């Protein structure tokens, strides 16, 4: 799986900022302490420690924090994962 | 039909009553979902016709209301959703005896196995990431060991949908599931709205890793690619959790595999009917998002009888129903190989190798339909794993037994390669022994030297691809040249047919840079 390249990451952060921020899930590398300084504590919704992932609620002015070099990739949180039962 | 906060059918009923004459019914039953904290206040103030019932476990108010009562509920900010309580829900119909004897996962997937007779997944925990499990269903006994809500907010015990109970029944239900003594860890990820969020899935996977769960069943999917979901599944798999993921129900069009089934280390399961034919709805490969092939395997997933959340049994279809069959088989294999130091790698390798495709394409059924009968037949046809080591060039999944001779770098005597294995932790291990200086343990077993090549990201490549990518060494002349590290690979641009790759020889330890076709270099990415 490829990490986001810098241009893509910048563009994505910019687009998120234009949407006034939002809830995102990000994968980080290395120590959590190293990446946590990039975010205000109140933005951190959840830390999925075993997965090295974090859920963040970012204000528009905090979106560029996702450019932190320890962030490998991130996505806006989705809510449409479904059970895969085939309806008749 | 997609339902918003207020059931549109209910709104229509009240609108109709308003327009019509007085002899038309004007009060209707509603079910309103609310927070416990405001329930008492709402019970007092709701202008209802007749008594109002509050179901505290479900956090739902049932009442007959007229237009004023309906408007009160609509305007109340603490009411999450308002549904029509008069709707007749379809209860799964009782099944005839013929169906009951024919279509449980247990009957199809366990078949007539003798090798695994008596192995029912005892001591193995399977996490079911789903809508919840009706733990009091008689088929589970007391084997639902824990129930955890991974959904933000409140949790009610049980399964309000039925999907999770059906799935758990196919894994571990007595008389229904493949591994009827396995334990179930119920991880609820679906809320009342029906959808699950990325965070709830991550929360559940986090628990699986922390609790060192053996197997996780993910009968869920999305209509998009998600690096986060795929990355989380891969992390769990690399941490030692066998992750079975439904391939999706978007078939029969090609390239319809989505996250998280598209994850590299997920065991993506397609669905087949009771004859082993790919179900029309089962999502097809190739993998539209990444270079690795999907689906991986297939199993029984059409008209599957399993546990109902109402009690008794019901029938469901989908790749959701095929996935627990594979999870159940893995539980049986893990119990069978309990003493094996690398039981998970072994079990996963067997699953991926032993399927029978019946001539169907890899894009439809992966390596084929998985049943315990097929695994037994596979092992018999290869005379068992151990004897395979003695046959030059034979292999099991990601294990390559060569028994080739090369020179020992210490004493220059012959050195025998017993096994080359690509492992799920991303390493390639080569087990060797020196012909001259052999070491034995107290029980007389040969002690191997083990060379480890680290940072291999391509552990899911097929045997064919592996052999295809082996190149002839200029030093010793044997076909044993492999890339030494995936990080060192420099794949050429799209239109460049060759790439420069750092390579090493498995036989003579020669190292260098070789140009190999980009098509093959990509295999090692």
B397 φ, ψ to 5°?
Answer: 40, -110
Asked whether the predicted pLDDT for residue B355 surpasses 50, the reply is yes
Higher pLDDT, A6 or A78: A78
From A7-11, A14-18, B51-55, B397-401, the region with the lowest mean pLDDT: B397-401
Q: Where are the domains of chain A?
A: 6-76
Residue found by looking up tokens 């595999």 in the block: B257
| Facing B197 at nearest CB: one of A26, A51, A78 | A78
For A1-88, list the strands marked E by DSSP. 22-28, 44-48, 53-58, 71-76, 82-83
In this structure, of B127-131, B275-279, B520-524, the range with the lowest mean pLDDT score is B520-524
Q: Do A83 and B317 touch (CB under 8 A)?
A: no
Please, how many CA atoms are within 13 Å of residue B300, restricted to the half-sphere of its CB? 29
Q: Give residue B22's pLDDT band: very low, low, confident or very high (50, 70, 90).
A: low
Whether B437 has a pLDDT exceeding 80, the answer reads: no
* Cα separation, B401 vs B404, whole angstroms: 9
A chain contacts of residue B273, beta-carbon cutoff 8 Å: none
Catalytic residue among B226, B262, B308, B320: B320
Residue A23, min C-alpha distance to chain B (Å): 10
Task: Name the more confident of B239 and B31.
Answer: B239
Cα separation, B467 vs B422, in Å, equals: 13
For the cut 90, the answer to whether the pLDDT of residue B342 exceeds it is no
Give the phi and the psi of residue B499 in degrees, each rounded to 5: -130, 150
Q: Which of A49, A73, A83 sits opposite B206 (nearest CB)?
A: A49
- Contact at CB, B235 and A52, closer than 8 angstroms: yes
Q: What is the pLDDT of residue B403?
A: 38
Residue B289 — pLDDT band, cuts 50, 70, 90?
Answer: confident
Of A1, A48, A83, the CB nearest to B202: A48
A residues 45-84 lying closer than 8 A (beta carbon) to B: 45-46, 48-53, 55, 72-75, 77-84
The mean-pLDDT minimum among B93-107, B130-144, B378-392 falls in B378-392
Least confident interval from B253-257, B345-349, B410-414, B511-515? B410-414
Asked if B144 contacts B175 with a C-beta cutoff of 8 angstroms, the reply is no
Give phi and psi for B388, each to the nearest 5: -65, -30
Q: Which of B60-64, B78-82, B456-460, B514-518 has the lowest mean pLDDT?
A: B456-460
Of B220, B228, B321, the CB nearest to A53: B228
Q: Is the pLDDT of residue B402 over 50?
A: no
Task: For residue range B483-507, list pLDDT tens digits in order.
Answer: 655 444 555 555 555 666 666 766 6
Q: Is B130 a catalytic residue?
A: yes
- Tokens representing residue B459 in the block: 């552990």
Average pLDDT along chain B = 77
Task: Assess whether pLDDT exceeds 90 at residue A43.
Answer: yes
Q: What is the pTM of this model?
A: 0.65
Can you tell me the ipTM of this complex? 0.91
Residue of A nearest to B245 (CA): A84
Choose the closest CB to A85 out of B163, B222, B228.
B163
| B4 pLDDT more than 90 | no
Q: Minimal Cα–Cα distance from A56 to chain B, Å?
A: 10
Q: Do B161 and A84 touch (CB under 8 A)?
A: no
Q: What is the pLDDT of residue B67?
A: 84
- Rounded to a whole number, what is the distance in Å from the CA of A42 to chain B's nearest CA? 17
Q: Residue B397's pLDDT band (boundaries 50, 70, 90)?
A: very low
Catalytic residue status for B399: no
Interatomic CA distance for residues B361 and B284, integer angstroms? 10
Is B320 tagged catalytic?
yes
Candidate from B266-280, B323-337, B447-461 with smallest mean pLDDT = B447-461
Average pLDDT over residues B70-74: 85
Q: Is the pLDDT assigned to residue B330 strictly greater than 50?
A: yes
* Lowest mean per-residue pLDDT among B47-56, B114-123, B136-145, B152-161: B152-161
Q: Among the options B83, B149, B159, B163, which is catalytic? A: B163
DSSP B395-409: EETTEE---EEEE-T
* Cα of B517 to nearest chain A Cα, Å: 21
A29 touches B at CB < 8 Å? no
Domains contained in chain B, CATH given:
8-84 (3.30.70.80), 97-381 (3.40.50.200), 387-524 (no CATH)
Higher pLDDT, B77 or B139: B139
pLDDT at site B95:
41
Of the two residues B60 and B316, the one the predictor is more confident about is B316
- B 303-332 near A (Cβ less than 8 A): 316-321, 323
Q: Which two tokens stand for residue B332?
A: 């049986």
How much is the pLDDT for B266? 94
Report the residue of B228, B261, B319 to disrupt the A interface, i.e. the one with the largest count of A CBs within 10 Å.
B228
């Amino acid at each position: 799986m490829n990490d986001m390249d810098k241009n893509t990451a910048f563009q994505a952060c910019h687009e998120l900022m234009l949407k006034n921020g939002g809830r995102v899930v990000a994968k980080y590398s290395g120590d959590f302490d190293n990446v946590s300084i990039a975010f205000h504590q109140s933005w951190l919704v959840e830390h999925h420690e075993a997965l090295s992932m974090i859920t963040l609620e970012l204000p528009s002015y905090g979106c560029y924090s996702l450019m932190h070099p320890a962030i490998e990739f991130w996505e806006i949180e989705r809510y449409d994962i479904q059970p895969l039962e085939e309806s008749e | 039909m997609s339902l918003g906060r207020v059931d549109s059918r209910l709104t229509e009923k009240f609108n109709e009553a308003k327009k019509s004459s007085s002899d038309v019914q004007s009060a209707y039953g509603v079910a309103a979902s609310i927070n416990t904290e405001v329930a008492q206040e709402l019970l007092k103030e709701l202008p209802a016709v007749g008594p109002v019932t509050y179901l505290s476990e479900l956090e739902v108010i049932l009442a007959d209301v007229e237009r004023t009562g309906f408007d009160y509920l609509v305007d109340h900010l603490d009411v999450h959703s308002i549904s029509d309580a008069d709707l007749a829900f379809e209860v799964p119909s009782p099944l005839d005896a013929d169906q009951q004897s024919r279509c449980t996962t247990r009957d199809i997937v366990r078949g007539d196995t003798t090798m695994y007779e008596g192995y029912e997944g005892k001591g193995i925990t399977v996490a079911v990431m789903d809508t919840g499990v009706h733990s009091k269903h008689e088929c589970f006994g007391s084997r639902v060991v824990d129930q955890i809500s991974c959904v933000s907010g409140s949790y009610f015990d049980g399964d309000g949908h039925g999907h999770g109970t059906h799935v758990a029944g196919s894994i571990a239900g007595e008389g229904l599931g493949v591994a009827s003594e396995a334990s179930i860890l119920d991880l609820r990820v679906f809320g009342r709205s029906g959808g699950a969020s990325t965070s709830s899935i991550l929360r559940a996977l986090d628990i699986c890793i922390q609790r060192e769960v053996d197997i996780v069943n993910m009968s869920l999917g999305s209509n998009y690619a998600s690096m986060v979901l795929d990355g989380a599944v891969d992390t769990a798999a690399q941490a030692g959790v066998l992750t079975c993921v439904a391939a999706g129900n978007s078939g029969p069009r090609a390239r319809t595999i989505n996250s998280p089934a598209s994850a590299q280390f997920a065991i993506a399961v397609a669905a087949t009917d009771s004859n082993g034919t790919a179900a029309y709805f089962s999502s097809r490969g190739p993998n539209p998002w990444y270079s690795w092939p999907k689906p991986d395997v297939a199993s029984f997933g059409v008209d599957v009888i399993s546990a109902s959340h109402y009690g008794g049994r019901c029938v469901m279809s989908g790749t959701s129903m095929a996935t627990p069959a594979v999870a159940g088989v893995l539980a049986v294999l893990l119990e069978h190989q309990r003493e094996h130091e690398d039981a998970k790698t072994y079990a996963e390798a067997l699953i991926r190798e032993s399927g029978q495709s019946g001539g169907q394409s890899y894009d439809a059924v992966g390596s084929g339909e998985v049943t315990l009968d097929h695994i037994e037949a596979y092992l018999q046809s290869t005379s068992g794993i151990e004897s395979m080591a003695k046959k030059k060039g034979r292999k099991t999944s990601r294990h390559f037994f060569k028994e080739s001779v090369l020179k020992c770098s210490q004493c220059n005597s012959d050195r025998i390669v017993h096994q080359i294995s690509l492992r799920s932790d991303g390493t390639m291990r080569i087990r060797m022994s020196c012909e001259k200086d052999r070491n034995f343990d107290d029980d007389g077993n040969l002690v191997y030297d083990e060379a480890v090549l680290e940072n291999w990201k391509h552990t899911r490549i097929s045997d064919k691809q592996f052999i295809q990518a082996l190149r002839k060494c200029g030093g010793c002349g044997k076909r044993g040249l492999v890339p030494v590290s995936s990080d060192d690979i420099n794949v050429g641009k799209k239109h460049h047919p060759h790439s420069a790759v750092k390579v090493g020889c498995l036989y003579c330890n020669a190292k260098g840079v070789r140009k190999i076709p980009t098509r093959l270099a990509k295999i090692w990415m």
